[in-house]
Structure 1
Amino acid sequence: MKNKSLKNKLKLNELTLGSWLTIGHPAIAEILCNYPFDWLTIDIEHNLFDPSQIRSLISIIQSKEKAALVRVSKNEEVVIKHVLDAGADGVIVPMVNSKEDAQKAVEFVYYPPFGKRGVGLSRAQNYGDGFESYKEWLNDHVVIVAQIEHIDGIRNLKDIISTPGIDAIIVGPYDLSGSLGYPGEYHREEVIEALKYLEETCVENKFPMGYHVVPPDSDLFSKTKEKGYKFIALSTDFLFLGNSLKRFMESI
Structure 2
Amino acid sequence: MPAPLNTFKKSLAEGQTLFGCWMSIAEGYTAEILSGAGFDWLLIDGEHSPNDIRSIRDQMVALKGSASHPIVRVPVGETWIIKQVLDVGVQTVLVPMVETAAQARDLVRACHYPPDGTRGVGYAVGRVSNFGQMENYGPTANDQICLLVQVENKTGLDNLDEILAVEGVDGVFIGPADLSASLGYLGQSMHPDMQATIMDALQRIDQSGKAAGILTPDDAMIQASLDAGARFVAVAMDIALLLNAAKSAASKWQGRKS
Scaled by the length of structure 2, what TM-score is found?
0.89
Percent sequence identity over matched residues? 31
Report whether the alignment pairs 1:149 with 2:142. Answer: no
Report whether the alignment pairs 1:123 with 2:158. Answer: no
Match of 1:161 in 2: 164
Taking the aligned partners of 1:141 and 1:98, their CA distance within structure 2 comes to 24
SS of 1:128 mapped into structure 2: coil
Taking the aligned partners of 1:120 and 1:130, their CA distance within structure 2 comes to 13
Amino acid paired to 2:97: M
The 1:203/1:68 distance shift into structure 2, 3 A limit, reads closer
Q: How far 1:42 sits from its partner (Å)?
A: 0.8
Deviations 1:140-194 (A, max 9, x none): 2211101111121111111112211111111111000111122121244552343
Which of these residues, 190, 206, 209, is aligned with residue 206 of structure 1? 209
Residue range with higher mean Cα deviation, 119-128 or 195-204: 195-204
Amino acid paired to 2:22: W
Contact 1:3 1:62 in 2 (8 A): no
Amino acid paired to 1:167: D
Contact 2:148 2:171 in 1 (8 A): yes
| Mapping for residues 81-230 of structure 1, pairs under 5 Å | 81-121=83-123, 122-130=126-134, 132-136=136-140, 138-188=141-191, 190-213=193-216, 215=217, 217-230=218-231
Equivalent residues, number: 249
Which of these residues, 64, 69, 80, is aligned with residue 62 of structure 1? 64
Match of 2:6 in 1: 4
Taking the aligned partners of 1:2 and 1:250, their CA distance within structure 2 comes to 46
Taking the aligned partners of 1:200 and 1:224, their CA distance within structure 2 comes to 9
Contact 1:180 1:190 in 2 (8 A): no
Which of these residues, 52, 55, 77, is aligned with residue 50 of structure 1? 52
Match of 2:248 in 1: 247
Specify the structure having the higher radius of gyration (Cα): 2
Deviations 1:125-152 (A, max 9, x none): 222232532431x222211101111121
SS of 1:243 mapped into structure 2: helix
Contact 1:38 1:66 in 2 (8 A): yes
User: Which runs of at least 4 in structure 1 moved beyond 6 Å after TM superposition?
Assistant: none
Q: How far 1:46 sits from its partner (Å)?
A: 1.2
Cα-Cα RMSD:
1.9
Residue range with higher mean Cα deviation, 186-195 or 242-251: 186-195
Q: How far 1:218 sits from its partner (Å)?
A: 3.4
Contact 2:99 2:157 in 1 (8 A): yes
Match of 2:238 in 1: 237
Structure 2 residues without counterparts, runs of 5 or longer: 254-258
Taking the aligned partners of 1:202 and 1:211, their CA distance within structure 2 comes to 11
Taking the aligned partners of 2:9 and 2:17, their CA distance within structure 1 comes to 12
Q: How far 1:71 sits from its partner (Å)?
A: 0.3
SS of 2:121 mapped into structure 1: coil
Contact 2:111 2:142 in 1 (8 A): no
Contact 2:22 2:45 in 1 (8 A): yes
Contact 1:30 1:60 in 2 (8 A): yes
The 1:106/1:190 distance shift into structure 2, 3 A limit, reads same
Structure 1 residues without counterparts, runs of 5 or longer: none
Amino acid paired to 2:108: V
The 1:3/1:67 distance shift into structure 2, 3 A limit, reads farther
Scaled by the length of structure 1, what TM-score is found?
0.91
SS of 2:127 mapped into structure 1: coil
